[in-house]
Structure 1
């Protein structure tokens, strides 16, 4: 029999209809849906909430862990090496998503990276966390507490030639950087530790702190493997915003000096020009063959 079809005999029109799937008829309930004896469903709902609470907490913890692992993670600034851009105790949010899609660090970005080996032994140590801090850090509800990470600004990337002479500016591929907008007031670009010229290997970056006279950065680790550069595989992500304290809230954009024309000339335009120059004779030779050596009149 089809659902909803009538039987052979019609039933009286005044038959009470069922109120919902429970089968309780309309004359067996009061106006608010409770049974006449006043035994409502509230206690059962309350018990359901407490039964579901552990599941909700578990889901929230899993989501927090996934966000921390793949999207955004908080980090605490332990030193003064990035003043005035970042102060000791600031909390920054680090974008961990874009590296998963193959994005490489760019010049001017502030990045967090794992200790390449031997850097933190020179003074930028992290405090020893307690058990609660370790757990909250693990799931991403507190800044990274146990990982040995550093934060610096990317000055040069793979293929760049970077140099800084005493009393001079930092140069990248022969272009001087105007760093007044971000290095610590009163600091010189590199008078405490001149360097270069250094050719940064592919897949690595050259990093420096904004507080140049208080930063043990790439300049001070040239004797280690990598000669002061950091592998991009060690980069956790880019710091995008100062999230705490609230009165310090600010984004961390790339300074305009890293967008100046010609900064990429040594890496991008020269190979392109060489490619065109190498392809032109081949194109002309092929065109001559196709036209049988004829020339336009």
Structure 2
């Protein structure tokens, strides 16, 4: 009996080890599948709802953004978080702002885009949208220009020298005068390259309701970083000091 017990114990132990090993392998395989499925779902969710890449096809935001720059856009703003004065936003055409369909050139992704795309953090770069800076929020009164050539927001002149680009000799922060009150659910946006931007001021027509304003529902998100070329890499600032006195 002792011999039988001693002889069968190693056999039973080996069988148990094989069973546990098989069970452990199955659990590992299951965990890997679960992780991969969750990763795919999250990457699709992030790519669809959080971050997108955009290509800059024009000089309307010089010197902040140069032609052919690539930027990343946070799509949670303004869906879950409000916009602020000075934010750089990407939005769909409110109607007649784009001269024609524009697409990003069919070039290879830059290294940063490739990495972010591989882990699901960006969608392919597009340029069939517009990029401008938020100057007026819903309810704001925006006008130009003061005796010193400045734009005013809610009666407060703002010093935009940190980001605007004016042609040599230009005295005013915008090439044509305007005074508007931004409707609820809309924005007033201007390009940093004030003499070469098809923005709110350019499209505004007195006595034409809705002209020049961008509906909030058209906003894709807030641009927050330049990803390419590497020499232009930078976080995009909203310059809160510029608009400190303009907030209502």
TM range (shorter): 0.7 to 0.9
| CA distance in structure 2 between the aligned counterparts of 1:203 and 1:61, rounded to whole angstroms | 35
Does the residue aligned with 2:18 lie in a helix, a strand or coil?
Answer: coil
Residues 57 and 104 of structure 2 are in contact (CA less than 8 Å); yes or no, is this contact kept in structure 1? Answer: no
Residues 107 and 155 of structure 1 are in contact (CA less than 8 Å); yes or no, is this contact kept in structure 2? Answer: yes
Does the residue aligned with 2:79 lie in a helix, a strand or coil?
Answer: helix
- Alignment pair present for 1:194 and 2:177: yes
Task: Give the number of equivalent residue pairs.
Answer: 220
| CA distance in structure 1 between the aligned counterparts of 2:19 and 2:181, rounded to whole angstroms | 81
Where in structure 2 are the equivalents of 1:54-93 lying within 5 Å?
A: 62-93=41-72
Q: Residue by residue, what CA displacement relative to the aligned partner does 1:208-233 show, whole Å, maximum 9, x if unpaired?
A: 00000111110111236512111111
- Alignment pair present for 1:13 and 2:6: yes
| CA distance in structure 2 between the aligned counterparts of 1:221 and 1:154, rounded to whole angstroms | 15
| CA distance in structure 1 between the aligned counterparts of 2:212 and 2:138, rounded to whole angstroms | 13
Residues 104 and 126 of structure 2 are in contact (CA less than 8 Å); yes or no, is this contact kept in structure 1? Answer: no
Unaligned residue ranges in structure 2 (runs of 5+): 22-28
| CA distance in structure 1 between the aligned counterparts of 2:215 and 2:239, rounded to whole angstroms | 23
- 1:258 Cα offset (Å): 3.6
Does the residue aligned with 1:214 lie in a helix, a strand or coil?
Answer: coil
Residue aligning to 1:22: 18
**TM-score normalised by the chain length of structure 1:** 0.63
Does the residue aligned with 1:219 lie in a helix, a strand or coil?
Answer: helix
Unaligned residue ranges in structure 1 (runs of 5+): 1-7, 25-32, 34-47, 268-297
- 1:243 Cα offset (Å): 1.3
Residues 179 and 257 of structure 1 are in contact (CA less than 8 Å); yes or no, is this contact kept in structure 2? Answer: no
Residues 144 and 150 of structure 2 are in contact (CA less than 8 Å); yes or no, is this contact kept in structure 1? Answer: yes
Residues 112 and 151 of structure 1 are in contact (CA less than 8 Å); yes or no, is this contact kept in structure 2? Answer: yes
Residue aligning to 1:104: 82
- Please say which structure displays the higher CA radius of gyration: 1
Once the two structures are overlaid, the 10-residue window that deviates more, 63-72 or 200-209, is: 63-72
- Alignment pair present for 1:209 and 2:187: no
- Alignment pair present for 1:232 and 2:208: no
- Alignment pair present for 1:249 and 2:236: no
Where in structure 2 are the equivalents of 1:76-225 lying within 5 Å?
A: 76-101=55-80, 103-121=81-99, 126-127=102-103, 140-144=122-126, 148-165=128-145, 168-184=149-165, 186=168, 188-196=171-179, 198-223=180-205, 225=209
1:241–1:20: structure 2 CA closer, same or farther, 3 Å change rule?
A: farther
Residue aligning to 1:293: none
Q: Residue by residue, what CA displacement relative to the aligned partner does 1:89-112 show, whole Å, maximum 9, x if unpaired?
A: 1111111124332x3321100000
Q: Which one has a larger percent helix, Structure 1 or Structure 2?
A: 1
**TM-score normalised by the chain length of structure 2:** 0.75
1:129–1:65: structure 2 CA closer, same or farther, 3 Å change rule?
A: farther
What is the RMSD of the two structures over their aligned residues, measured on CA atoms? Answer: 3.6
- 1:259 Cα offset (Å): 4.0
Residues 92 and 220 of structure 2 are in contact (CA less than 8 Å); yes or no, is this contact kept in structure 1? Answer: yes
